[in-house]
Structure 1
Amino acid sequence: MNASRLPAAEFEAEEVLRAAHAADVGRDQEPGGEMLQVLSSDGSMAGGMAAEVAGSTVDFAPYLSATDAPHLRSLYRDMFLIRRFDQESTALQRQGQLALWVPLTGQEAAQIGSGRALQPQDYAFPTYREHGVALTRGVRFDEILRLFRGVTNGGWDPRERNFHLYTLVLAAQSLHAVGYAMGMQRDQLADPSLPQGVSVAYFGDGASSEGDIHESMVFAASFDAPVVFFCQNNQWAISVPSSVQTKVPLAKRAEGYGFPGVRVDGNDVVAVEAVMRWALEHARTGKGPVLIEAYTYRMSAHTTADDPTKYRLSRDEQEWQTRDPLARLEAYLRTAGLADESFFEELGAEARSMATDLREAVLSMTAPDLESRFAAVYAEPHPLVQEELRFFQQYEAGFADEGKHA
């Protein structure tokens, strides 16, 4: 549409979008030299993996898995399956089978790469979008959807997976992660035989503007807590572009707290995994926290209640589609001769079977009865809650009586 024909309010909104886009492209789209990358957008090797971090040069090459064909295929498999899961979950929500869905398309490499670097004793604190990390920690797809189906307040036992329940309160998980890391730190001091664990706080660029993030980093730095702050900068805090969130790359904020910050290409699963391995080792060996900024892009809506066409330009989406994390690794696997056509065909069949099983599992989920809802309020029975339960039981019974007289 011609801008001169737009209503005043819409024209103003369009101009704001264009200004934000121009600022973003000018500063962030191609950070040049600041961002670690192993695989280029076309799937070719990008070059060296040495970078300046906190005043010293770090060589990330020892943490790479770029020559390990079985491992690279497994990374691709995880990314492929989690994208298919995302597509099926979006369809289920559109059909009224889920109350809401939070897509992750475009962020598969950031999540799978970081999650696969974790060791069993490490503990991850997610937001509400870390479905890929959940997969790497052994959480089943149907367990994730139990929350979005509304049949449970959780879905899995975090103590079994060392993967916390999803946090819906923005940035609150960063406080939890640092507190847990400080607890592990003290446990290991009291009992050196315990495995050295690291806590990981996942959050987005929007959450980085919350006070909880600042407070978490202050405490983590003060106590050299074994924690990795993993920020997925997907360019949009719902409808607010990253250029409004920060005037410098988010990784540079770590300097103000006195610990290392690294920016990595979040669409390059090989680079993400290598940087995460280094960061975990850094925290695990008593050197304190690390901030990782995974520079990526949310290719879909913030949630299924969101319409991204209202606040971002289609040309941005088209540009980022050329950086697709799955297409990038697939191109490398094919050109390097690390995967043949049968691998991709078998994976496609596996994904279709998974989607069918997932749909059946979701449709068979039933809501818990009223008593169990009230029983989950407190760990022990509470007189007030019991009184409220009796009230609702009488309330529901009244509808049954009306049905008899109808």
Structure 2
Amino acid sequence: MSNATPFDRSHTDGLLSFLAASPSPYHAVANAAAQLEKAGFRQVHETETWDATTGGKYVLRGGALIAWYVPEGALPGTPFRIIGAHTDSPNLRVKPVPDTGAHNWRQIAVEIYGGALLNTWLDRDLGLSGRLTLRDRSTHLVHVDRPLLRVPQLAIHLDRQVNDGLKLNRQRHMTPVWGLGKTEEGDLLRFLAEESGLPVEDIAGWDLMTHSVEPPAYLGRDRELVAGPRMDNLLSVHAGVAALTAAAGHGADAEPGAIPVLAAFDHEENGSQSDTGADGPLLGSVLERSVFARGGSYEDRARAWAGTVCLSSDTGHAVHPNYPERHEPGHHPLPNGGPILKVNVNQRYSTDGSGRAVFAAACERAGVPWQSFVSNNDVPCGTTIGPITAARHGITTVDIGVAILSMHSARELCGADDPYLLANCLTAFLGE
């Protein structure tokens, strides 16, 4: 599609801004919540009693967000249409005792989070982001978005075989530097307290991570590609917010065939087993409470679940021009070819023929092209929140997404039109 007229780029412009403003899962959900608030959604708290009012609502818990819109006329047994996504990305995260160093270099101790492509974090200017927890258990977001840290690679003169195969030791080779001098305990915490305008003695805990300070950008001769961090999977979170707010905008005029939901989880990159992950109770708890708040019974809950469908939206693999042999020969997804349907018969993806029909119908209603993805039999398949959601809640789930290159890199690549096409597909799905 490189010679075709590009689709509306305002959505992709918004994605670039969202990526830049969301260096951590905590920032991502805060920014998503701000967009929902502008569309008339209101936050409800898990510790409070929920009521039967209609309209848009959302729950925040750590790096996870569940948002839904109850239209006028929705019954207790009305099913849900869910967009599933995740807010976390592989990166380097700060250890509990962060101040370290050697040979008069001041360094920060980090732990590898998720399946990061380690070499992409070398010789890259890094900032720090995340959250500080105060003694009263309130949290404060941190976003130091300037060159602060760097993981320096060994010079080729000291490793003449490096181009024949780079092997990085996670413990010894990935510790970033951030200055010179003697290591002092509490140095990082004092720095962050000063950056945040907080008394250092008030900080009781933290969840901190590195991010590349290079901003996302259009790429290529015709600006038909986008390069940026955390597309896996903030691209889907951003598209899901757009789809949900669009569904809410049309909710007053539509028959309440289903209640649209966005479920953006944390910790997908390390298995989803947490209180904010897809394998935790958060989604089920929110949906059940929505049913019961509207006067529903367990029978209503069962009926609602039976009619519910989830599109698990995550990135997938575009065919790589330098490694085509790693891909299934009959399935070569291309950038700007529309969203992909992800299939694995061993249930690493949850799609089946019935789910394919749901996805295809949504794309048809939106006028969006789509593609199929399946792994080469010789290459192990990754997985998503899809199978977890299907198994934990017993709801029909379909795995889809956008085809990208450099997945799990510090900087990924996708087609500039695909975020817009995905958002349109998701909007059509929620409006079914």
TM-score by length of 1: 0.28
More strand by share: 2
TM-score by length of 2: 0.26
